[in-house]
Amino acid sequence: MRVVSYQHAVRLLQPVIEPIFAALQHGLDEAAAEHVRRGFERATDPWYFLHSARRSAFQRLAADGLAETVDDGDRSLLNLSGLLVRHHGLTVRILRPDPGAGGRAQIPLPATGALQAFYHQQPLPGLEGTDNLVLTWTDDLGVLTDPLTLARPVGGDSRRESLLLDWDGPLSRSMVRLRARDLDELQPDHHYGSLADQAG
Amino acid sequence: MIYGERLRQMRELHRLTQSDLAGQVVGLTQPRLSRVEKDLAVPDEELVEALAALTGVRSEFFTREPSPDLQGHSPQFRSRTRLTSTAKAAALQWARLVAEEYERLRATAARLPLRLAPQLGATPAEAAGYARCQLGFSADDPLPYLILALERAGVTVLGLPYSIDALDAFCAWRDGDPVIAILAGAPGDRLRFSVAHELGHLLLHATRTLDSAEREADLFAAELLTPLDAIGPAMPPTVTLRGLTMLKSSWGVSVKSLIRRAREVGAIDQQRSTSLYRQMSARGWNRVEPGYVPVEKPRAFRKLAELAYGPGPNVQRLAADAGWSESLALAVLDRHATADELPFEAVGRADNVVPFRPRQS
């Protein structure tokens, strides 16, 4: 099995960092707008707010070809354990940690068998040789917190002490800036230096 | 004194008939407009101002000698469905308009040397190998980007603020320069294939379009983007739509073309191939496929404008010198990448990456 490092994972995910951030913020905005429209208090049902945000974020990611559904016979269902993004040999589950969780507790525990298999890096059919990663997100009063946390789990079950990570690190919006070299050879015929040079 | 040809250019670019345009100007008739376009009648200043405002240019635009028609450079069109003559004429006029300004801007900067030459006797696979080498890519890795690489190799790539369902791109040799024009609206994977297809025409075919040219250009595009020797080992042991979607994000080509490639390298048989196509259809993937491929834009036009008019660039000055309205200048600039919109750098090996420090626990 391939084992991707933190640095390499960031490089592989670089093209989709901006769409992921944009989709999550869009989801938060849509959820907030719905709560205002219907007179809901977020604190009354915090999970509804998050589910609503996740649903809208999915729509945005799907429009970019980034989010996938789970096949269930004739139906195509939204993944219940977070958003699922597959890109460049990485399968990334985008999860929301429990409210108030910090440090390693930011990585949600795999409560279901399918999620535990994912945490143990078991591949799905057709995705052999890929890496499974977890990306967690939080918000502060409806504003997406930057950075997100990217982690490569290698084990875990419903007990916190069982959680095993290969590595974890930040995934920040600012990491999108590493661009391909510009047309550096394209230079003007004349380049004017400082006024002093021209005077000389 | 205006050039009637300039007026025809802007009318065709907006897909207007002479009656359509005449109907929008008080006192102008179709016969009179026809005479103006043929330089048989001289319009007054007020009419020229009205026509300029309607077509998105300044009145002095009509007084400039027209550049040669791209039609004379035998452009190669690859349309997915039947292309109407008005849609084709509009695409050609947009390309002519942007190409003319591109040439004017290029006169202020040093030219990039052309590193690609026609390969008229070569097979599509041989030409694709040659192109990969000339573009600076290895023989067997995914192309991280294509359009920027073409521009670096001296190909003029024009982004047109014009979109039609039937056409993604077309190409022409123009006074020894290869030109590829890209229309708006195609998803990233389809655009890459279309641009690769046009490059195939430029390298493999002389001015005349042969019956086999479209198929050869398709073969060239498939081999350029997914060389058989490289895509075979990259295929997952079990070929599923899920696995091909993952492969799509790495190679920047559609799932459908990967199914075709999987069949060609023997990773699946005909029955499995048909089954995968059916699954795609059942899931609605024939309309929109999953799998993220960024939409590439050409860069050089905007870069030349930045060199001439400073960072930004200064749209007022660009529009004034081009004889365009500012909204037209903005629309053309928008089809060309800013530095922030450049494609991402090629993914390096694990030992050749920018080191980010892991978070302290």
pTM: 0.86
Does B236 contact A19 at a Cβ distance shorter than 8 Å?
A: no
Q: What is the least distance, in Å, from the CA of B284 to any CA of chain A?
A: 11
Tell me if ipTM is over 0.85: no
> Residue B134 pLDDT more than 90?
yes
* pLDDT for residue B80 is more than 50: yes
Residue A67 contacts B where some CB pair is shorter than 8 Å = yes
Q: Tokens 């084992």 — which residue?
A: A3
Task: Report whether the peptide linkage leading into residue B355 is cis, meaning its omega lies within 30 degrees of zero.
Answer: no
Give B15-61 pLDDT, tens digit per residue: 999 999 999 998 899 999 999 999 999 999 999 999 999 999 999 99
Contact criterion met (CB below 8 Å) for B71 and B93: no
CA A105-A174-A181 angle, to 5 degrees, is: 140
Domains plus CATH for chain B?
Answer: 4-66 (1.10.260.40), 68-225+297-361 (no CATH), 234-294 (no CATH)
* Pairwise CB contact (< 8 Å): B144 & A180: yes
Task: Say if residue A175 is exposed, middle or buried (CB neighbours under 10 Å; 0-12, 13-18, 19+).
Answer: middle
B59-62 own/partner pairs: CB under 8 Å, 24+ apart: B60/B323, B61/B6, B61/B10, B61/B322, B61/B323, B61/B324, B62/B2, B62/B3, B62/B6, B62/B7
To the nearest 10°, report the CA torsion of B130, B136, B142, B148: -110
Tell me the backbone φ, ψ of residue A11, rounded to 5 degrees. Answer: -65, -40
Three-class HEC string of chain B: CCCHHHHHHHHHHCCCCHHHHHHCCCCCCHHHHHHHHCCCCCCCHHHHHHHHHHHCECHHHHHCCCCCCHHHHCCEEEECCCCCHHHHHHHHHHHHHHHHHHHHHHCCECCCCCCCCCCCCCCHHHHHHHHHHHCCCCCCCCCCCCHHHHHHCCCEEEECCCCECCEEEEEEEECCEEEEEECCCCCHHHHHHHHHHHHHHHHHCCCCCCCCHHHHHHHHHHHHHCCHHHHHHHCCCCCCHHHHHHHHHHHCCCHHHHHHHHHHCCCCCHHHHHHHHHHHHHCCCCCCCCCCCCCCCCCHHHHHHHHHHCCCCCHHHHHHHHCECHHHHHHHHHCCCCHHHCCECCCCCCCCCCCCCCCCC
From the list B236, B299, B355, the residue facing A126 with the nearest CB is B236
Give the separation between CA A195 and CA B134, rounded to whole angstroms. Answer: 41
Residue B73: what pLDDT? Answer: 60
Rounded Cα gap, residues A69 and A54, in angstroms: 13
Write out residues 12-71 of B within 8 Å (CB-CB) of A. Answer: none
The one-letter amino acid at B266: G
Q: Which of residues 69-128 of A touch B (CB under 8 A)?
A: 76, 86-89, 91, 103-104, 124-128
Q: Looking at chain B, which residue has its C-alpha nearest residue A185? A: B112
pLDDT grade for B349, boundaries at 50, 70 and 90 = very low
Give pLDDT tens digits for A123-158.
Answer: 877 777 789 999 999 999 899 999 999 999 999 988
Consecutive 10-residue runs of chain A (200 residues): their mean pLDDT? Answer: 83 91 96 94 89 92 80 54 84 82 72 90 81 93 92 90 90 84 70 50
pLDDT score recorded for residue B355: 47
Distance CA A137, CA B23 (A): 57
Please name the residues between 66 and 125 in chain B that touch chain A, using a CB distance below 8 Å: 108-110, 112
Q: Which residues of chain B from 140 to 159 reach within 8 Å of chain A, CB to CB? A: 144-145, 148, 151-152
Selection from B25, B84, B29, B78 nearest residue B55 by Cα: B25
Find chain A residues with C-beta within 8 A of B236's C-beta: 126-129
For residue A86, list its beta bridge partners: A91
